[in-house]
Amino acid sequence: MLFETVHDNLQALAHHRISSTRDAFLFIITIALAVHALYNKYEIQPENVFATLSLLIGLPTLASLALTPHVGSYGLGLILTLVVFYTCLLSSIVIYRLSPFHPLAKFPGPRYLRVSKLFGMWIASGGKQQIFFKRLHEKYGPFVRTGPNEISTVDAQAIPSVLGSQGLPKGPMWDAYHTPDGMESLIAMRNPAEHLKRRRLWNRAFSSASVKEYEPTVRSRVRQLAECLHRLGPKTSADTPVDLSHTFGCFTFDVMGDMMFGGGFELMKEGDVDKVWEVVEKGMENFALLQHIPWVMQILWKIPFISGDVNRLKVFCKTRARVRLAEGSQVKDVYHYLIDDDNHEAVKPTFEQVVGDAALAVIAGADTTATALTTAFYYLLRDPAKYKQLQEEVDTYFPADEGEPFDAATLAKMPYLNVTINEAIRLQPPVPSCTQRGTPQGNEGKLIGSYFVPGGTAVWLPLYPLLRDPRYFSPHPDDFLPERWLSDTKDDFVTNTDAFIPFSFGPANCAGKNLAWVEMRMAVALLMQRFQMRFAEGFDPLSWEDGLEDCLVLKRGKLPVILALRG
């Protein structure tokens, strides 16, 4: 069993006196190597408190009894034992991870990344993880080893093997999202069967028919967005800059408040009085770091001053959910489907599960859509010719004197509108790198692309480098060129739609992408119809792109623009 090897060594200590200092040190070294072997075979997680304390504290403490008689003091014997034990254990781990005998030794990559995930955490702390992944793949190729038991791939042929219906389950990073109160959201579920069961609720909530029912709510909020921009900009002063990024964030949070709780979020009208957005941003920054050492979160969840911000968001969502349950709703919203109000499921989800999913929807649905909108206008404003081309298309399909551009079917057919959004989210996918899956521990592994990946391996498929890979998008993969998506330019560009997965792919893809497309199309079209925009005086456009940070989702800086009503 787990302690069999160590038990045999301790028997030697119990029945045979270790006669020399040299033998005592050899015994301690043997114990350290045995502990490494146990960890390597059984992948014992730190949250397994008994095993962790027994192996890392109990065993070296017992082993010190072998050294004490030779140094004359139990205290000195314990100190020397711990120094030798941990030095040997860490050396053994590092040597093995760097050795040609490691199962991932064939994958190229920086040697320091093979040693510890602490390096990944340090890279994530700079907010440029997506850039780091891109540089790694540019240097080492489509498969790179990025951790002791982790690889990253940007091979389009690997997408079905990693993310598809016969692909891999969620990887270990998602353990960081497992809260002790049972509010496990869909995004954190690593069991494929359980995920599929919960996902059925989401699929019904975001089916084409359901999204059609949401359109009046979206139209109302898009009108409010235009009015908000008018109030902040030209209605105040022709030269008053408006932070487009912040306003889009308020808009999308309000929409998701309507979808999840029948209202309750009024950021466009009142500002972030409940500090919801602030809490979300702080939480994402912390998760971006701790996803590299997810076991730490099981400890941190129990520390109030660390988990307080996340708990505030939970309390807010619980409060809104109870109000929604008490008051009901005149229309079918997302919450209607998540609580299974139509009784499709044999076993209904718990209140905690529904609230966990509601919190996920607020974060994933709001922040990502706001990023896509901000990115689209950022690139359009950098290229006035493309801005004008899209505006002319909107005017053609929806003349201003014939009403607002809210017909979803017509919007879906507008070529330049849709390729503009495509190109914006290609260049800046709202979730730039965090699409980790993993081969289950103990299985035989899986063939991914042209590589066999052994069991117990985490597999990243980062979207930022994938969507800028010149094999799939060229020429000029780093440039904003919406025309690369148009059918009449297909001979001028390589545009591999199989590699274009900004909403992820397979059974765990973005459930709300249909709603996101309706929001984005309506918002872009109405703002193009009503306003003429330009960057604020003195604003350096390149600073906005340079300031983007990979915090699980993209964290955006201010985007100051001057708006003028069109005549």
pLDDT at 84: 96
pLDDT at 405: 97
Taking the C-alpha atoms of residue 86 and residue 63, their distance in angstroms, rounded to an integer, is: 12
Annotated binding site for heme: 510
Taking the C-alpha atoms of residue 306 and residue 310, their distance in angstroms, rounded to an integer, is: 9
Taking the C-alpha atoms of residue 453 and residue 212, their distance in angstroms, rounded to an integer, is: 42
CB contact at 8 A, 138 and 478: no
CB contact at 8 A, 431 and 368: yes
Which domains, from first to last, does the chain contain?
4-98 (no CATH), 179-430+502-565 (1.10.630.10)
Q: Helices (DSSP H) in 49-173: which residue ranges?
A: 49-53, 59-71, 74-98, 111-115, 118-125, 129-140, 159-163
pLDDT at 180: 66
Q: Block means of pLDDT (10 residues each) for the chain, length 567 residues?
A: 51 60 92 93 79 92 90 92 96 97 97 96 94 98 97 97 93 79 73 88 93 95 97 85 96 91 86 78 78 78 60 75 78 86 86 80 86 98 98 97 95 98 98 91 85 94 98 98 92 95 93 95 98 96 95 93 92
Query: What DSSP string runs through 277-317?
Result: HHHHHHHHHHHHHHTTSGGGHHHHTT-HHHHHHHHHHHHHH
Which residues are within 8 A (CB) of 271 and not within 5 positions of it... i.e. 6 or more apart?
250
Strand partners, 562: 534
Taking the C-alpha atoms of residue 61 and residue 74, their distance in angstroms, rounded to an integer, is: 10
pLDDT at 2: 44
Annotated binding site: 510
CB contact at 8 A, 448 and 438: no
Taking the C-alpha atoms of residue 430 and residue 375, their distance in angstroms, rounded to an integer, is: 9
Element (H, E) at 446: strand 446-448
